Amino acid sequence: TRLADLEIERGRGGEYHQTAGGDTTVLTTQQGTPVSDDQNSLKVGAPGPTLMEDFHFREKIFHFDHERIPERVVHARGFGAHGYFETLDTLEDVTMADIFQRKGEKTEAFVRFSTVAGNKGSADLARDVRGFAVKLYTKQGNWDLVGNNIPVFFIQDAIKFPDLIHSAKQEPDRGFPQAQTAHDNFWDFISLTPESMHMVMWIMSDRAIPRSFRFMEGFGVHTFRFVNAEGKSTFVKFHWKPKQGLQSVVWNEAVKLNGADPDFHRRDLWDAIQMGDFPEWELGVQLFDEEFAEKFPFDVLDATKIIPEEEVPVRIVGRLVLDRCVDNFFAETEQVAFQTNNIVPGIDFTNDPLLQGRNFSYLDTQLKRLGSPNFTHLPVNAPRCPFHHFQQDGHMAFHNPKGRANYEPNSWGEGPREDPKGGFRTYPAREEGEKLRMRPELFADHYSQARQFYASQTPVEQGHMRDALVFELSKVETPAVRARVVAHLRVIDEGLAKGVAEGLGLRDMPDAADPARPVVEGLPP
């Protein structure tokens, strides 16, 4: 049909396509009204006042005015890609998770890599932890493994997360630094939080300046549970191992790259995928039971500790391939919502107090960030398996229940019912005790693994760590904060502490921190 100058054709799906002539689609308003002039607003005379009646102008500006949503409160800067997970080894003896049942089966995946502290527009090569968040669209629901490229974390209890992040991001009075941890507030907090010492060793290492996202490991960090069909639980740690190998830049390169191309990491991933050089990671698991866990001198539920691979080897069970860039950065990378509490039958939480807190935080923050409880309707967040529930209404509801029943049980024979056998059942861990604000005694050793990590580095890498500490602390203006960090370093490695103290030109070597004191009192600056 021809309508004035517009070609209107019926598409294969029955929808109408309007063409402006040739192959060009007609510009319309949000309501589908064809637009005749997108260059000039409607005016009385020339240049006359713009008329309120110009609905196209008002709609266009109104929509533009509302384009921004809040950036993530952490991990604001990130880059995502689509791919798939392939099961290489079945794990039916330890988990009933559907994704681990059939060798060779592929599961759709979406991954978002990120820095933690910097704002959305910050530079890629900041010295920082990298997020490694994976959404696996399994046949039994979305399983999100929201990990990092470092296997441990700064804090043991989620209640400290706002303090950690406040201290790491820009200081509230001056609004800087925007993307680096080299400042007083961060090191003040760290120096008063000895549990962070192991993680500090990792972020001062080359791991914190990866060559690109393709050359990083990923870790689930927490100890999770696998549960098998008989209801038996096995502890599990998740590892992503890059087939490309592990590579970092040196600080000198990082600084130059940040200036020359702040998008270096996202460009690298985009280019590799567009060229067909698909990055790949192996998924490994460390499996151990509660009896074995009790033999460690630390608590396996403490996220500041690793499980040594010499004691529990990593077993490779799958591979992750990223083979497709997003079509739209905002729709996919920005609106994707990973949550630690997105788990599936066969996988369960543990009492790691960091994980327990995360399970509240992600859903909560995403309601604010994405603006509606219906963000699971967005294509990047929607499960690929069938889903049926009675949740309804709210902003932007476009999957409301059909028919009369929006509750169950109902007499109308309508809608879904629960499945006592196949549905997710929480592992019935036995719990008892007094309600207390405390940490288990086995969370108290903050230095042994920090020391082991430093000792595991080559002399060149140890030199990088010393230089990183000198650089970072040289940006700290408060002498007591510098000294307090060196006091902790003395417990980790005297040589490192000495090297840092010399690099900083400290006149007096501070006393070593006391490992027996769980919390270092704040010293007056």
Interatomic CA distance for residues 525 and 518, integer angstroms: 21
- Write the binding mask 246 to 285 for ligand HEM: x where contact by CB under 6 A, - elsewhere: ----------------------------------------
> Which of residues 205 and 462 has its CB atom nearest to ligand HEM in the complex?
205
- With vertex at residue 307, the alpha carbon angle to CA 229 and CA 125, rounded to the nearest 5 degrees, is 110
Determine the straight-line distance between the first and last CA of the chain, rounded to whole angstroms.
79
CA-to-CA separations, 9 to 25, 27, 152, 515, in angstroms, rounded: 11, 15, 58, 76
114 is a site residue for ligand HEM (CB under 6 A): yes
Closest CA to 158 of 47, 262, 303, 49: 303
289 residue type, one letter: D
Active site annotation includes 148: yes
Catalytic residue among 56, 82, 142, 148: 148
Written as six digits, the tokens of 370 are: 């994405």
The single-letter DSSP state of residue 479 is H
> Which of residues 135 and 482 has its CB atom nearest to ligand HEM in the complex?
135
- Write the binding mask 364 to 393 for ligand HEM: x where contact by CB under 6 A, - elsewhere: -xx--x------------------------
Q: Minimum distance between the CB of residue 158 and ligand HEM, rounded to whole angstroms?
A: 4
Q: Minimum distance between the CB of residue 217 and ligand HEM, rounded to whole angstroms?
A: 13
- The backbone torsions φ and ψ at residue 481, rounded to the nearest 5 degrees and listed phi first, read -70, -45
Tally Cβ neighbours within 10 Å of residue 259.
Answer: 9
201 is a site residue for ligand HEM (CB under 6 A): no
Q: Minimum distance between the CB of residue 12 and ligand HEM, rounded to whole angstroms?
A: 36
- The backbone torsions φ and ψ at residue 323, rounded to the nearest 5 degrees and listed phi first, read -130, 5
Q: Which residue in the set 148, 191, 193, 374 belongs to the binding site for ligand HEM (CB under 6 A)?
A: 148
> Which of residues 87 and 196 has its CB atom nearest to ligand HEM in the complex?
196
Interatomic CA distance for residues 350 and 340, integer angstroms: 12
Q: Minimum distance between the CB of residue 470 and ligand HEM, rounded to whole angstroms?
A: 27
Interatomic CA distance for residues 381 and 302, integer angstroms: 30
Closest CA to 417 of 385, 376, 389: 389
- Write the binding mask 431 to 470 for ligand HEM: x where contact by CB under 6 A, - elsewhere: ----------------------------------------
Q: Which residue in the set 161, 189, 238, 447 belongs to the binding site for ligand HEM (CB under 6 A)?
A: 161
183 is a site residue for ligand HEM (CB under 6 A): no
- 315 annotated as a binding-site residue: no
CA-to-CA separations, 53 to 32, 45, 49, 50, 445, in angstroms, rounded: 17, 15, 11, 9, 70
Which residues of this chain interact with ligand HEM, rule CB under 6 A?
72-75, 78, 112, 114, 131, 133, 146-148, 153, 158, 161, 221, 303, 336-338, 354, 357-358, 361-362, 365-366, 369
Q: Which residues are annotated as a binding site for heme?
A: 72, 112, 161, 358, 362, 369
